[in-house]
Amino acid sequence: MPLRLRLEASLREPDGRWRLAAEEGHHLMVRRCASGDRVEGLLPGYRVELRLERRGDVWYGWEESRRSDRGSPVRLTLLAGVLKEDAWDALLRMATEVGVSRVIPLLCVRSVPRLGGERLSARRERWRRIVGEATKQCGAPEPPEIAPPRSVEELEEGALPPDRFAAFLSGDARPLPGEVFGDEVALAIGPEGDFSPEEGEALCRRAFRPISLGGRVLRAPTAAAVGCAWFTVFHEGGAP
Amino acid sequence: MPLRLRLEASLREPDGRWRLAAEEGHHLMVRRCASGDRVEGLLPGYRVELRLERRGDVWYGWEESRRSDRGSPVRLTLLAGVLKEDAWDALLRMATEVGVSRVIPLLCVRSVPRLGGERLSARRERWRRIVGEATKQCGAPEPPEIAPPRSVEELEEGALPPDRFAAFLSGDARPLPGEVFGDEVALAIGPEGDFSPEEGEALCRRAFRPISLGGRVLRAPTAAAVGCAWFTVFHEGGAP
C-alpha cells in the first residue's frame, strides 16, 4: 500500500498542485520521502495519486489520477430497533462512520420512544441532520439513506438484501466470523432488552441468520458499530 | 453450539434448580425443546450447563456443570488518547463492553482536557465508576484496570504486551485483518485529531505496528470500539 495522506488541510494552487499542509510535510520527512515519490491522497469521496515535489520545507503534490472512493465493497443495510434519543443518535453516528449504506429504523415491542405522526417527522429530520454531520466528519462520499420506520412484521422480504443476519443475545446464534456473505448484506440489531421472542421468530421467517457478537451483552449502539464494522471496515481491504 | 439462555431474570430454587424466566421458557417452546435437553446458561462471569425439565408452562434447568467464563482468549490493553468528558466516557464504556482488560489513558499533545493533581484524581474515580457500571451491565467477570495516565514518551516497553498496534489516519498503515498476533495485545488509538507526528514516531520506536481501520476518519470512541472488537469479539470463537 502506498503512503497515504489526508488532503483536507492542504491547499490547491492555481496550477493544480496541492501545497501540502505542514504536518503532512513533516510526516513525509519522517518517512524519508523524496521528490518524485508517489503517495495516495485522501479526500472525502475521492482518492488521488500524487507525485511529490519538495521545495525546501514545503511539499507539493501533483495529481496523476483521481478516482471515486466508493468505500466498502459491501453494501450494508442496518435494521436497528429505535432507542432513546442519546443512544439512537450515537448509533446513527457510528453507523455512518463505519460505512452503512441504509438504516431501517425498527419500531420494536421494547423500543422506548413511541413514534408517530408529527413527532416522527420531526425525529426523522433530526436523524438526517445527524448522519449528515457524521458523513462530513468521517469523509464519506454520501450519507446513509434513512428509510421510514416500520415494525419487524412490516418488513418486505423483496426489499431486503439476500444475505441477512440478526444479532441475538441468546438462542442458537453462531459467531459472526464463521458466516459467508456476498456484497449486499442486512444486519438487524434489537433495541435495549433485545428483540421480543415474536420479533426474533419473524426475523428468522424472513431468512435472517441468528448471529452472536460474543458472550457479553453489548448495548445496542456498540453492537451496531461492532457488527457493522465486521462487514464494512474489516472487509474493506478484502476478506480478513 | 448449544442453545444459550441468559439467566439474570431466572430464579434459583432452594433445591438448586433454576426456575427459568417466562420469556426464556417461551424461547425454549419456539425452539421445540423438551425435558432432558441440555442448554447453556449464561451468568455474569460464568457459563452453566443446564438439563431442562418442563412442568406445564414452567421450565426448570438443573445445573450439570459450571465454569468460569474468562471471556476473550486475547488479553487486550487499550492505550487511548484522553478525550473530552462525554467522548471519553463513551470510549470507556464501549471498551469495557467489548472486553478490554486494561486501559492506559494517554496524555497526548492534542488531548483536550489537561489533567493534573486533584482534577486527575477526581477524574480517575469517575472513570472507575463508569467501567464498573458497564461491567455489570454487559455481564463481564471483572472491570478493566485503569492505569495512571501518562504521555507516549513515558510508556515503558517492558510493561507492554509483545504484539502492539497503533491506528493511524494516514501513513503506511496496513489493514488490521492482515496482521498476526498472539494472546497479549496492545492497541493505541489517538485523541480527536490523531497522534501528533512525534507521538506517532515514539509509538513506532516502541514497536507499535501502524494499522488502519479503513479509509474513513472514525471518531476516537468508534475507533476504539471497532479496533478492540477485532481482537476480543471476533477472535472469541477462534480466528475469523
The answer to whether B24 touches B43, Cβ cutoff 8 Å, is no
Based on the fold, state whether residues B167 and B80 are members of the same structural domain: yes
pLDDT at A218 over 80: yes
**pLDDT one-digit tens code per residue, A62-89:** 988 887 665 567 899 999 999 999 999 9
CATH of the domain at A181: 3.40.1280.10
Please indicate whether, in this complex, the C-beta atoms of B237 and A30 are within 8 angstroms of each other. no
What value does the mean pLDDT of chain B take? 88
Instruction: Tell me what the mean pLDDT of segment A86-110 comes to.
Output: 96
Asked which of A29, A47, A68 is the last residue of a domain, the reply is A68
Closest chain B residue by Cα to residue A97: B218
Asked whether residue A195 is assigned to any structural domain, the reply reads yes
Smallest CA–CA separation between A54 and chain B, in Å? 18
Based on the fold, state whether residues B151 and B204 are members of the same structural domain: yes
Which pLDDT score is estimated for A226?
97
Chain B residues near residue A31 by CB distance under 8 angstroms: 171-172
The answer to whether B48 touches B7, Cβ cutoff 8 Å, is yes
**pLDDT one-digit tens code per residue, A158-180:** 889 999 999 988 667 888 988 88
Asked whether residue A123 is assigned to any structural domain, the reply reads yes
Asked whether residue A132 is assigned to any structural domain, the reply reads yes
Asked which of A13, A44, A68 is the last residue of a domain, the reply is A68
| pLDDT over 90, % of chain A | 55
Chain A residues near residue B234 by CB distance under 8 angstroms: 175-177, 230, 234
Please indicate whether, in this complex, the C-beta atoms of B233 and A214 are within 8 angstroms of each other. yes
Q: Which of B5, B31, B233 to mutate to test the interface with A (most CBs of A within 10 A)?
A: B233
Based on the fold, state whether residues B108 and B212 are members of the same structural domain: yes
Q: What is the C-alpha separation between B100 and B232, in angstroms, rounded? A: 7
Please indicate whether, in this complex, the C-beta atoms of A226 and B98 are within 8 angstroms of each other. yes
Residue with cell 453492537: A223
Terminal Cα distance for chain B, rounded: 16
User: What is the three-class DSSP state of B69?
Assistant: coil
Closest chain B residue by Cα to residue A240: B177
Closest chain A residue by Cα to residue B92: A222
Smallest CA–CA separation between B118 and chain A, in Å? 30
Which pLDDT score is estimated for A102?
97
Residue contacts between A and B (CB atoms, under 8 Å): 177
pLDDT at A13 over 90: no
Based on the fold, state whether residues A85 and A145 are members of the same structural domain: yes
Based on the fold, state whether residues B15 and B105 are members of the same structural domain: no
The answer to whether A16 touches A63, Cβ cutoff 8 Å, is yes
Asked whether residue A238 is assigned to any structural domain, the reply reads no
ipTM for the whole complex: 0.75
The answer to whether A217 touches A189, Cβ cutoff 8 Å, is no
Q: Which of B172, B214, B232 comes nearest A1 by C-beta?
A: B172
Residue with cell 499533545: B109
pLDDT at A38 over 70: yes
Which pLDDT score is estimated for A200?
94
Asked whether residue A237 is assigned to any structural domain, the reply reads no
**Which residues fall within 8 angstroms of residue B174, CB to CB, at 6 or more apart?**
A1, B209, B210, B211, B212
Q: Which of A89, A226, A230, A236 to mutate to test the interface with B (most CBs of B within 10 A)?
A: A226
Q: What is the C-alpha separation between A24 and A3, in angstroms, rounded? A: 11
Based on the fold, state whether residues A223 and A183 are members of the same structural domain: yes
Based on the fold, state whether residues A105 and A83 are members of the same structural domain: yes
Smallest CA–CA separation between B122 and chain A, in Å? 25
Which pLDDT score is estimated for A144?
96
**Which residues fall within 8 angstroms of residue A9, CB to CB, at 6 or more apart?**
A21, A23, A24
The answer to whether A78 touches A228, Cβ cutoff 8 Å, is yes
Confidence of residue A112 (pLDDT cuts 50, 70, 90): confident
Instruction: Tell whether the torsion through CA atoms of B86, B87, B92 and B94 is positive or negative.
Output: positive
Asked whether residue A177 is assigned to any structural domain, the reply reads yes
Based on the fold, state whether residues A97 and A58 are members of the same structural domain: no
Please indicate whether, in this complex, the C-beta atoms of A3 and B172 are within 8 angstroms of each other. yes
Based on the fold, state whether residues B122 and B187 are members of the same structural domain: yes
Which pLDDT score is estimated for B195?
94
Chain A residues near residue B240 by CB distance under 8 angstroms: 177-178, 240
Based on the fold, state whether residues B111 and B157 are members of the same structural domain: yes
Mean pLDDT: which of A73-77, A196-200, B159-163, B222-226 is highest?
Answer: B222-226
Q: How many domains does chain B have?
A: 2
Rg from Cα positions in chain A: 21
Based on the fold, state whether residues A211 and A136 are members of the same structural domain: yes
Asked which of B37, B52, B68 is the last residue of a domain, the reply is B68
Rg from Cα positions in chain B: 21
**Which residues fall within 8 angstroms of residue B85, CB to CB, at 6 or more apart?**
B113
Chain A residues near residue B201 by CB distance under 8 angstroms: 30
Q: What is the C-alpha separation between B76 and B99, in angstroms, rounded? A: 8
Asked whether residue B237 is assigned to any structural domain, the reply reads no
Based on the fold, state whether residues B173 and B211 are members of the same structural domain: yes
pLDDT at A240 over 60: no
pLDDT at B24 over 50: yes
DSSP state letter for B226: H
Per the structure block, which three cell numbers stand in for B94? 464501549
pLDDT at B240 over 50: no
CA-based nearest residue to A225, from B76, B17, B115, B213: B213
**pLDDT one-digit tens code per residue, B49-62:** 899 999 999 999 99
User: What is the three-class DSSP state of B79?
Assistant: strand
Greatest distance between any 2 Cα atoms in chain A: 68
Which pLDDT score is estimated for A238?
42
Please indicate whether, in this complex, the C-beta atoms of B97 and A234 are within 8 angstroms of each other. no
Q: What is the C-alpha separation between A86 and A65, in angstroms, rounded? A: 42
Per the structure block, which three cell numbers stand in for A80? 436497528
Instruction: Tell me what the mean pLDDT of segment A152-162 comes to.
Output: 93
Please indicate whether, in this complex, the C-beta atoms of B197 and A26 are within 8 angstroms of each other. yes
Instruction: State the residue range of the domain holding B41.
Output: 4-68
CATH of the domain at A20: 2.40.240.20
| Per-position DSSP letters for chain A, written without gaps between them | ---EEE-TTSEE-TTS-EE--HHHHHHHHHTT--TT-EEEEEETTEEEEEEEEEETTEEEEEEEEEEE----SSEEEEEEE---HHHHHHHHHHHHHHT-SEEEEE--TT-SS---HHHHHHHHHHHHHHHHHHHHHHT-SSPPEEPPPB-GGG--GGGS-SEEEEE-SSBS-EEGGG----SEEEEEE--TT---HHHHHHHHHTTEEEEE--SS---HHHHHHHHHHHHHTTTTTS--
Asked whether residue B53 is assigned to any structural domain, the reply reads yes
